[in-house]
Copies of this chain bind each other. A is one copy, B any other.
Amino acid sequence: MSGGTPTGLTEALAQLRDGRTDAHAYLDTCYDRIDAREPQVGAWQSLRPREACHRWLDHHADWLAGTPLRGLPVAIKDIIDTADMPTTMGSALHADRQPADDAACVAALRSAGALILGKTVTTEFAYFSPGKTANPRDLRCTPGGSSSGSAAAVADGMVPVALGSQTAASVIRPAAYCGTMGYVATRGLMSLRGVQPLAQSHDSLGIMGRNFADIRLIAELLAGPLPTPSLPLQGLHILRVPGAAMGDVSPEMEAAIDKLAAQLREAGATVTDLADDGRIARLVALHGAVMAFDAARNMAGEGARPDALSPQFAELLETGRGIPLADHAAAQAEIRQLGDWLGAARAGSAAILAPAAPGSAPEGHAATGAPHMSRAWQALGLPVVTWPADVDAQGRPLGAQLIGHRWRDAELLELGRKTALLTPSPTLR
C-alpha cells in the first residue's frame, strides 16, 4: 500500500500550505490509484470525471485557498444525498434517484472546500445485501458493509477520507475488514439531514480515514469545534468486553485483542474484563428488534414493492411490521436500562475495548459478515473508533474497537490515535 497512494489529509494540507504540492497533483495521485484499482475493487457508485475535477479546482482556486480543505477530495457513501450526483441507496428502485439537496454533512464539507469526488458503494438501503465492492486487502474477501465502498476506497488509497453511516455495524465492520481507521460519532452530534435512514433509533454518521488526525479534522467540520484532551495512557483504565459476550469470535481475533490488552498494560493502562452476565448479549438482541421496527416504518414506500427488494431486506421489513408496539416500547425501555447499567459499570474507565468484527474479512462476496460486535454500542448511541490492530495468518486485518462515552468523541479519537500507535501492522503500511 505504499508508493502511488496519497498522503493523508492533514499531511497534504501542510504540503499545500508550504507549496510542496497542489490540489491538482493530489487529485491525480488519487485518480491514478482509482484508474489502476477500481476495476478490481469496485468502490465507486459514481465518480466525478478527472477532468471535471481539475476544472472545478481551477474555477474555485481563489476561494479554495482560504478554506480548511483547499480542494482535497472526499468520498460520500451513496446513502447520503448529493445535489450533483445521484444517490441510489444501493437499491434498484432508486437507480436514477437525484436528490434535490446535499445532505447537511455534504454541505458542510463543500463549504469547507472539499472536492466531492464521488459516491461510494453501499449495500441495499445500508442493510445486508452487498454491492459490487471487493476487499482491497484481499479481493476474494468481502469488504464488509454497509459502507463498503467508503472503507475500500480509503483503505486502498483512492481517497483520503470518506463519509459512512452506521445503524448496526456499517462503518466499524467494513473499516476493520478493509484495514483502515473508522469512527462513528455520538448519535445526535452530527446532522443526519439528507442521510437516508435505515432505523432512526440507531443511525449515526461515521468517517473513514487513513489516520485519526484526518478523521478528527473532518469531525470538527461536521460537529463543530472539539476539545483537545491530553490523555496519557499511563494510569488510564480500559474495560474489555470479550467478543464471546456478543457472539461468535475467531480465536485469532481473541488473540489480537489479548495482545493489544497486554500492550496497553505495558503502556501503563489497566485493562479489566467486564463481568459478563448476558446483558451485552441482550443489548445485541434488542438492537436487532428495534432496527426492524424502525426500518418497516421508514420504508413505507419500498415495503409495498417487495419484489424489488432483496429477500433479506423484505424479511427485515416484514419482521418489523410484525412487532407489536408494546414490545417495541419494552425494548426501548430495556435498552435504556441496560445503558444505565453499562454506564455505571464503566464509570471511571476511559473506553471499552472489544473486537471490531468477529474476525478478519470472510471470503466471498455474497454477504458482508456479521454485525454483532457493534450492535450493543450502536443501540446506546455511543461513539466508536476502529483501527487495524493486527493481521491474521493470511495477512488480513484484524480490527479492534474502542467505545467511548456519549459526547466525549474528542477523548475517544485521541485514545484511538494513541492506541493505534501501539499496534503498527507492518503488512498494512
Contacts and interface: CB of A to CB of B under 8 A. Distances in A.
Contacts of A407: 325-326, 328-329, 332
Contacts of A107: 300-301, 304
Contacts of A190: 297
This protein's copies in its complex: 2
Contacts of A105: 300
B102 A100 contact: no
Interface in A61-118: 94, 97-102, 104-105, 107-108, 110-111
A282 interface: no
B223 A329 contact: no
Interface string A271-314: 00000000000000000000000101111110010000000000
A265 interface: no
A332 B188 contact: yes
Contacts of A324: 225
B188 A193 contact: no
Interface stretch (A138-146, A196-204, A243-251, A421-429): A196-204
A418 interface: no
A105 B298 CA distance: 8
Interface in A193-236: 193, 196-197, 200-201, 222-227
B193 A197 contact: yes
B294 A191 contact: yes
A200 B196 contact: no
A191 B297 contact: yes
Contacts of A325: 189, 223-227, 407, 410
Nearest to A105: B300
Given A190-B297, A325-B223, A99 B100 contact: yes
B188 A201 contact: yes
Interface string A405-417: 0111010000000
A33 interface: no
Given A111-B304, A325-B225, A328-B407, A298 B97 contact: no
Q: Give the top 9 A-B pairs by smallest Cβ distance, nearest first.
A: A107-B301, A329-B407, A108-B300, A191-B297, A107-B300, A191-B298, A104-B300, A193-B298, A97-B100
